[in-house]
Amino acid sequence: MQQLLITCRAGLEPDIAAEIQVKSAAVGVHGFVRAQAGQGYVIFEGYQPDSAESLMQRLAFAELIFARQWMAVVEHVTLEAPTDRIAPIVEVLQQAPAFHGSWLTFPDTNDGKSLSRLTRKLEKPLEKALAPLQARTPDKADWIVQVFFLSGEEFWVGLTPRRNASLWDVGYPRLRQPPSAPSRSTLKLEEAWLQLIPEHLRAVYIKPFQKAVDLGAAPGGWTWQLVHRGMQVVAVDNGPMDKQLMESGQVTHLREDAFAYKPNRQVDWLVCDMVEKPARVAELMERWLVKGWCRFAIFNLKLPMKKRWQEVDQILTRIRAELDQAGIAYQMSARQLYHDREEITVFVGPKET
C-alpha cells in the first residue's frame, strides 16, 4: 500500500502534514502530503508501492502529536448510485492481508458528523459480509479494516495496524462530562491520562493518597479529576475554586502566582492548564522536573496561530534537551487531544526500565 490516510482536528491539516513529512523522512520513507484545509485528514503519498506499511513499521503512532488515527489506503471508492455500499467494500478487500474487525469512521467536521447514522447502520451488515474474509484468530491478524466515509457516495477503504494505532476507532475516547465537575476542562485531563499513559501503567502512576499540585486550577475541573482519584491537591490560582470541590477536604487553595509557587517537598503529580505563552509554561515545567519537585507532569502548551507543529517541536526539543542535560531519565508523550482547544497536552514521567 502506497498511501497513508491520517485524520486530525479540522483546521490542523497543515500541522499534521508538516509533522508527517519530517517524521517519515527521518525514518527513510519518502513521499509528499496532500492536505486541504478543513477536511479533517491528509494523505501521505509514498514513492514506493509499500510506503504505507514501511512507515507504519518504522514510526510509532504514539509519536505523532497532531494525528488522531491512521490507515494504509487500499482503495478510494466513489459510487455513482449508492444502493449497495457493502459489496464494493468487500470487493476491494478480496486481496488484502489478514485482518480482523472493522471500523467505520468519518472526519471530525460538521459534514463528517452527519454521517454517523449511516455508519451505525452499516456496521452489522459489513461485519457479516466480511466474516468469510476475516482471519480466524483475531490476534493473528495485524490489521483492522477501516472505512472512512466522506459522504454516502465517497469513502476510503484501508487497514489500520492493530498494534500501532490509536486504541479508539475515531482516535479519542468518548467521555461523559461528570455532573459534579466544575468545568468542561475536566475532560482534558481525563483524556490526557487515557491517551498519553499506556494502559498497563495507568493504575501504577495514578493512585489514591498521592499528592498533587494543580497550577492555574480554578474553577477546578482538573482538581476534580485528582480528587476523584483520591489525591490530596494543592490548587494554585487567584481565581475562585468550586465550593463543593473545596468541601471534599482534599483541596488546599492557594491564591498565589503559579510561577512563584514552590512545593515544600516532592509531589507525585504536577498538572498545569494555564493560558500562557508556551515557552513560559515550558520553562516552568522544566524547573519542576529538573529540580525533582514532581514525579509526573501533565501540562498544556497553547498553540500559536501559524507554524504550530514547528513551534511545538521546538519547545518539546528544548524541554528534552534540558532534561537530558540534567541527566534525568524520562518518558515524554504529547498529543493534540479531542478535548483540547488550541493547545496540545504533554505528559512527562520517569523512564520505564
Ligand X SMILES: C[S@@+](CC[C@H](N)C(=O)[O-])C[C@H]1O[C@@H](n2cnc3c(N)ncnc32)[C@H](O)[C@@H]1O
Binding residues vs ligand X (CB under 6 A): 182-183, 185-186, 216-222, 236-239, 257-259, 273-276
CB of 156 to ligand X, least distance (A): 36
Please report the DSSP string for 271-338 in residue order: EE---S-HHHHHHHHHHHHHTTSEEEEEEEEE--SS-HHHHHHHHHHHHHHHHHHTT--EEEEEE--T
Nearer to ligand X, 105 or 345 (CB): 345
In 10 A of CB 234, how many CB atoms? 21
**Pairwise CA distance, residues 36 & 43, whole Å:** 10
Residue 78: φ, ψ to 5°:
-125, 125
Q: Which is nearer to ligand X, 130 or 215 (CB)?
A: 215
Nearer to ligand X, 121 or 277 (CB): 277
Cell reading at 80: 455513482
Q: Edge-to-edge strands of the sheet including 41-46?
A: 31-35, 41-46, 3-7, 69-78, 154-161, 143-149, 99-105
Q: Least separation, in Å, of the C-beta of 296 and ligand X?
A: 17
- Choice between 155 and 299, CB closer to ligand X: 299
Min separation Cβ 245 and ligand X, Å: 9
Helix axes 13-26, 308-325, angle to 10 degrees: 50
Kindly state the smallest distance separating residue 102's Cβ from ligand X, in Å: 36
The CB-of-104 to ligand X minimum distance in angstroms stands at 33
Cβ closest to ligand X, residue 268 vs residue 276: 276
Give the nearest distance from C-beta 192 to ligand X in angstroms: 11
- Kindly state the DSSP code that residue 173 receives in the 8-state scheme: -
Phi, psi of 287 (to 5 degrees): -60, -50
Q: Which of 128, 302, 306, 307 is catalytic?
A: 302
Q: Taking the complex as a whole, how short is the minimal distance between the CB of residue 285 and ligand X, in angstroms?
A: 14
Q: Which is nearer to ligand X, 91 or 257 (CB)?
A: 257
Look at the block and give the residue holding cell 493512585.
207
Between residues 97 and 263, which has the closer beta carbon with respect to ligand X?
263
Q: Convert 92-129 into a string of H (helix), E (strand) and C (coil).
A: HCCCCCCEEEEEEECCCCHHHHCCHHHHHHHHHHHHHH
Tell me how far apart the alpha carbons of residues 227 and 137 are, in angstroms, rounded to a whole number. Answer: 42
Is 140 a known active-site residue?
Answer: no
CA 67 to chain centre: 7
Using DSSP's 3-state secondary structure scheme, residue 211 falls into strand
Residue 151 DSSP class? S
Q: Which residues are catalytic?
A: 302
